[in-house]
Amino acid sequence: MAQQLLEFLYLLAAISFVLGLKYMNSPDAARKGNILAAVGMTLAVFGTIFLYQNEEGMRLGHKGLIMAALAIGTVIGTLMAKRVKMTSMPQMVSFFNGMGGACAALISILEFNEMQAHAASHAQELISGDYSSAHITKLLIIFAGLIIGSVSFSGSIIAYGKLEDKIKDFVLPMQQIVNLLVFGSALVLSGLMISGSLQGSIWMYSVLGLALIYGILFVLPIGGADMPVVISLLNSFTGVAAACGGFLYDNKVMLMGGVLVGSAGTILTVVMCRAMNRSLTNVLIGNFGGNKGGGPAKSGSGGSIREVSATDTAIMMKYAQKVIIVPGYGLAVAQAQHVCHELEELLEKEGVDVKYAIHPVAGRMPGHMNVLLAESNVSYDKLVEMEHINPEFNTCDVVLIVGANDVVNPAAKTDPSSPIYGMPILEVEQARQIVVMKRSMKAGYAGIDNELFYNPKCGMLFGDAKATLTKLVNEVKAL
């Protein structure tokens, strides 16, 4: 009876995962989807703790330790989630993803050691070479989960460090050859152990070490502008590693969750690569965005910039018919989303049509801008994706760019030598007037100059995004 109830709970959990993922397709239903998936996971976890029993009828032991670990993890996770700033959300996602990869790798280590503990019963098989297909399959899954989970863990931690600016881009001489040698060595050792040619925990830990090193080398040279793609790819790795754990334990809900995470991460990776008009191979070896743009940008066309005041900008916006706001990472850094929403509401009271243009890779992670603006209660129907908003720029009176840079750089269309050439951008240059809010003339995350700043229609409004938006709000009120 207990086993049947557990299977029913697993079915409910699997359904909640699928529905939760479906709800996350829509910003207004994303919170509901997240809660639904969390409820499903809770059912699966507690169902396993209290109802699971193996073929011999034995139930899980050490429930006190398990509950203590759950309590500690819940407290830590809750505190991290409540304290994290929106600017640090990509780092938290990367860190949590790394923990998922580590868990998957630990499962493989525990299962391998369990097999080693029962090696005496398989001694004759090993000597005779009569390896059972089930034994080989289990080892294959163990090493797949070990390698993929370890790569996801170490790679995610490096990604976390790079997003925090604690780790800089670094490229070894003959980097790709070194990567292939390390990864190839891990595969060869795994193959020899699966075939029975090598035995012993020392070789398993050697594979673990090589996989961890590969994860570090895999992410270390990748440029900052490609980090959203890398995070998504590593997320898919963690999903695949978790699915391997589902195979090992014959746990359907764990398998389902891993497959969903792996497939969703893979699809998102492909979507972002298309949004950047780059192949995944190019992302992984191209080192795009390695220069963080520490120095002042220089005009590539010999032009000059035009500075505007908050008063001028307020007048342009108040008496416009249509205004499009382009949010970027600078908006998140300044925590200016609430003031931006206040400006939007003021303009709408004046009869101005206001929308937000969302680029697929704006910010530091997929959906970063959507979540940021939703936090300030911006209506979801005002968040318009790139392919739908681009045709509207030529009917727009004023475009206000708040902290965005690379996603509005015309070099993506006009300069074949630019590293972002071919990347679809928000075509803001078609608007009648353009105002760019920036702290300085420093280059964006990709470390390249922006031709837009020298466009005669473009005015630069320098200053902190939150303080400058507050000035705009006050100026609009005073007009």
Buried b (16+ CB within 10 A) or exposed e, 344-369: bebbeeeebbbbbbbbbbbbbbbbbb
Name the residue among 435, 359, 444 with its Cα closest to residue 399.
435
CA distance 196 to 18: 39
169, 406, 415, 464: the active-site residue: 406
Place of tokens 């964006």: 444
CA distance 410 to 387: 16
Q: Distances in Å between the alpha carbon of 96 and those of 14, 120, 154, 157, 237?
A: 21, 38, 12, 9, 13
Residue 397 structure tokens: 């009176």
- Distance between CA atoms of 278 and 417, rounded to whole angstroms? 15
Dig out the tokens for 22 from the structure. 């479906």
To the nearest 10 degrees (0 to 180), the angle between helices 175-195 and 201-219 is 160
Rounded CA separation 459/436 (Å)? 6
Could you tell me which residues come within 8 angstroms of residue 203 by beta carbon, excluding any fewer than 6 positions away? 189, 192, 193
Instruction: Evaluate whether 64 touches 50 at the Cβ level (below 8 Å).
Output: no
| Lateral strand order in the sheet of 322-327 | 383-385, 353-358, 322-327, 398-402, 433-438, 458-462
Catalytic: 381? no
Q: Catalogue the active-site residues.
A: 406
